Amino acid sequence: MRTIVALGLCGLGLIGVPACGGGGGGDTEGEAGSGTGMSGASGEDPTTGPPPPPPDDGPPPGTLDECGGFEGGTNLNVCTASYLGGAMADTANAVEIGIDGAVVVAGSLVGTDLGATATALAGGGDGAVVRLSASGGAVLSVTRIGQEVLDMSLDFETGDLAIAGPGVGVAVLDATASALVWQQPVEGARRVSIGTGGVVAVLADKTITTYDALGSQLGSFTLMDGNVEDLAVHGTQRVIVTGWNQVGGNLQQPFLRAYSPTGELQWTNYDWSDAEAGGPDTRGMVVTIGRDGKLYYGGESHGGGSSHGQDPRDIAKPAPIVKFDKFNDPYNWNGSAPLAFYARFDPEDGLIEMGQFIVPRLSSGKGNGAGISALAAREDGTVIVGGGSACCIEGGDTKTINGMQAMPDYAGGGFVLVASPQFDQRLVWTAWKGDGAGNGERVTGVAAAGAGMALVMTHGPGDESGAVDGRLVTSKALQFEPAGGPSEAWLSVWPGP
């Protein structure tokens, strides 16, 4: 659902993270180091052999029911894991599951319509909204608009799709992406959200502009914060925004706030000063409204002792953090490696309900880095988290996708974690790394609705040859192999728990 496209772990000095364009060894975890920002350790860059041939496991199933049921434990049963695109620079920036069950992917496809006859809206372009069957097994339609669709959001009531990006500005498409409901020019539009009732908010730099269901402007306001990362519309009366500020010479702290559509502050969380917070740099990165009507927030800290562990309204009190094992208890932390955190809030008053850390661990026992780039929640509150992880995801050497090793040479990469509604069970935690290497190892969008779950990644950019390095896991695919471009769109769909 929500996407943050600037996150990347490679080449940033994290323990066990291969350098950009390089491979990774399953037993190569590096040595602890120190640093600022995303760095927290030094990694190594062993090379790997040529990729194995793609599996011959047949085409994707026609329906979600034909995929079989959810399979937890070490193997994840997926309907499809597939590349989508051609030999040019393609991207997959967001994914939704429509009210008709269709899987909808937004990004850019250059020079290919995936065998469909594309519909061009507002002059067409390389920007693409692709609708696939609920299993991901068939392309239903391709809509062309703008240069690239950077973000997309679904109206849970009508199925309308709000999109944003260069050449798009902000636009609302109907539920089948076949007609333009309205469009407004917004220079630099990069994040968008639509609430039930059709109110849309779009973020360009630090300015938030809101529109009603007919596309008439409701308000526009600019935040004075250092970094404004994401926004989410709740109903028709609330826009929730997150980001972070440099509150001292060596300290960053997050904010999570609600505004009216015209910019009046309704409530605020975190926003600590240097004197109040202390501790490591902490950032707000992503927000979304789940299908359960709750607010979901994702952030990160660069070191242990995160202020995310404290009540967002009273830093002297602990937050209601759910932890049940060493993979969500952030002790013995590895320097300033990023510590991922997600939480559920009541969007009406901003009160936190529960939160949880995500803690990969090295074989030495040290907690290692992960970052969150996408969040979604199903109708029952089951949460799906996407991001990028350093070594080592729990049981990474045993995890499989349709029986194929998910992380054959490195127990990290673009990951998905699925948590039960009370955050008391980790139902899925895996990556589709295959032998893919370089910047492509992070999830850019996730979605969950009814029986279905989905994620997208952009694999790339490629190495000096112009092509991406290796191949992410593919199975029952429309397209098993990368098509030779410098970046590749990729999708996976599976039946949820």
**92-132 residue pLDDT tens:** 999 999 999 999 999 999 999 999 999 999 999 999 999 99
Tell me, what DSSP letter sits at residue 436? -
pLDDT single digits (tens) 199-242: 999 999 999 999 999 999 999 999 999 999 999 999 999 999 99
Its pTM stands at 0.91
Distances (CA, A) of 464 to 374, 389, 438: 29, 24, 12
Average pLDDT for 381-409 = 95
Is residue 102 within 8 Å of 93, Cβ to Cβ? no
Supply 26's token pair. Answer: 């399953």
Least Cα distance to 256 among 211, 308, 220 occurs for 308
Helices then strands (H, E): number in the chain?
A: 1, 36
pLDDT reading at 168 higher than 70? yes
Q: Predicted confidence band at 470 (pLDDT cuts at 50, 70, 90)? A: confident
Q: What is the mean pLDDT of the chain?
A: 88
Count of alpha carbons within 13 Å of 455, Cβ hemisphere only?
A: 30
Q: Predicted confidence band at 409 (pLDDT cuts at 50, 70, 90)? A: confident
Predicted local confidence at residue 58, as pLDDT: 76
Is residue 333 within 8 Å of 304, Cβ to Cβ? yes
Average pLDDT for 411-431 = 97
pLDDT single digits (tens) 364-373: 999 999 999 9
Average pLDDT for 419-447 = 87
Predicted local confidence at residue 435, as pLDDT: 82
